Amino acid sequence: MPATPSGAKGAVITGWGTALPNKILTNIDLESMMDTDHVWIRDRTGISQRHVGGTTAGLSAESGRAALQMAGVDPADVDALILATTTPDRTVPASSSTVQNLLGLSSCGAFDLNAACSGWVYALVNAHGLIAMGAQTVLVIGTDTLDRITDYTDRNTGILFGNGSGAAVVQACDGPGQMLGWDLDSLGEAESALFAEVGGFLQMEGKEVFRRAVRLMVDSATNAMASAGVAADDIALAVPHQANIRIISASLDRLGIPMERASIVLDRTGNTSSASVPLALAEALDQDRVTDGDLILFVGFGAGMSAASAVVRWSPHATTNSGDTT
């Protein structure tokens, strides 16, 4: 993948927000729904609970609204909405249309992007592309309502997934932007490892996904760091897709990034697919784990099998093109 061109219009993240449905499904709850137990799930995946319920559009509107408020952006000033989701509320139209209406984004383009669990990182890279082409403000949301395609009697899949949403406002800035390098991948030959037919439940070869996931994450992150011209030692915060704590640990170990530098939310959220990276980013930012100049590595993988990574140098106080200091 190419490095971010030096002449491209830069962009910065100026606000973020999250949404999780109120209803929580714990591992103990699952014990009465399938042949499993809390300790096995926690030890083999790192997950203790997940949120269920809500709609993709409703959760997206909640996280998107919070992100716009933090950024101080008038909804009328959003140029584009990208909603990363693998669980739209309806087949037609795209859920982004509903979200656009709910948020009052009166003059923007809106589209869904489906790259499974890599979706939000794909969307972030695409937002930077739109800004390089002249857009000023892009709202990037990642939302999934996986409870609608999860069979809660199947212990192979029913223990893993949950619902959630995370959003970021990305705005054009003067001078260099945050994104230093990126990588997008797809391994279509492995698509049978994880899929859901239209109207059906997720089917997964768990061991195959695990094996491929580690390799994909390592390769994609390595490519993004190379295109950014940075090394693993330089990464202050890793924000990996939250599928399984053992996948994250094995991947970061191979990359040479200590686990203490990772943001982990999957113990409380499960695998929320497109929402997992922005949820983990928001928690790290809210906990002040990131300071000016820090390098953040985003790395996602998912069905497809897709992978996406990006390296960002955090600079939340950059001046946006509107002249505001954020």
- Our finding on whether 53 is near ligand ACO (CB under 6 A) is no
Answer yes or no: 163 catalytic: no
Q: Binding marks (x or -) toward ligand ACO, 226..245, rule CB under 6 A?
A: -----------------xx-
**C-alpha–C-alpha distance, residues 28 and 159, integer Å:** 11
Answer yes or no: are the C-beta atoms of 61 and 99 closer than 8 Å: yes
Q: Which is nearer to ligand ACO, 137 or 165 (CB)?
A: 165
User: Could you tell me the smallest distance in angstroms from the CB atom of residue 298 to ligand ACO?
Assistant: 15
Binding part of the chain for ligand ACO, among 91-99, 179-187, 202-210, 227-235 by CB under 6 A, reads 202-210
Catalytic residue, from 108, 126, 163, 241: name it: 241
- Our finding on whether 142 is near ligand ACO (CB under 6 A) is no
Single-letter amino acid, residue 19: A
**C-alpha–C-alpha distance, residues 315 and 293, integer Å:** 6
- Our finding on whether 176 is near ligand ACO (CB under 6 A) is no
Answer yes or no: 117 catalytic: yes
Give first-to-last CA distance, the chain, whole Å. Answer: 30
Catalytic residue, from 114, 117, 128, 223: name it: 117
Q: Which is nearer to ligand ACO, 167 or 193 (CB)?
A: 193
- Our finding on whether 111 is near ligand ACO (CB under 6 A) is no
- Our finding on whether 186 is near ligand ACO (CB under 6 A) is no
Q: Which is nearer to ligand ACO, 138 or 308 (CB)?
A: 308
Answer yes or no: 271 catalytic: yes
Residues numbered 260 to 319 that lie near ligand ACO (CB under 6 A) are 271, 273, 302-303
- Our finding on whether 40 is near ligand ACO (CB under 6 A) is yes
For ligand ACO, the binding residue among 209, 280, 281, 295 (CB under 6 A) is 209
Q: Which is nearer to ligand ACO, 4 or 150 (CB)?
A: 150
- Our finding on whether 103 is near ligand ACO (CB under 6 A) is no
**C-alpha–C-alpha distance, residues 181 and 169, integer Å:** 19
C-alpha closest to that of 173 among 71, 245, 82, 99: 71
Report in angstroms the alpha-carbon separations of 278 from 35, 56, 129, 256, 275. 32, 15, 19, 23, 6
Q: Which is nearer to ligand ACO, 75 or 158 (CB)?
A: 158
Q: Which is nearer to ligand ACO, 250 or 255 (CB)?
A: 250
User: Could you tell me the smallest distance in angstroms from the CB atom of residue 252 to ligand ACO?
Assistant: 15
Residues with active-site annotation: 117, 241, 271
Residues that bind ligand ACO (CB under 6 A): 36-37, 40, 44-45, 116-117, 155, 159-160, 194, 204, 206-207, 209-210, 213, 243-244, 247, 271, 273, 302-303
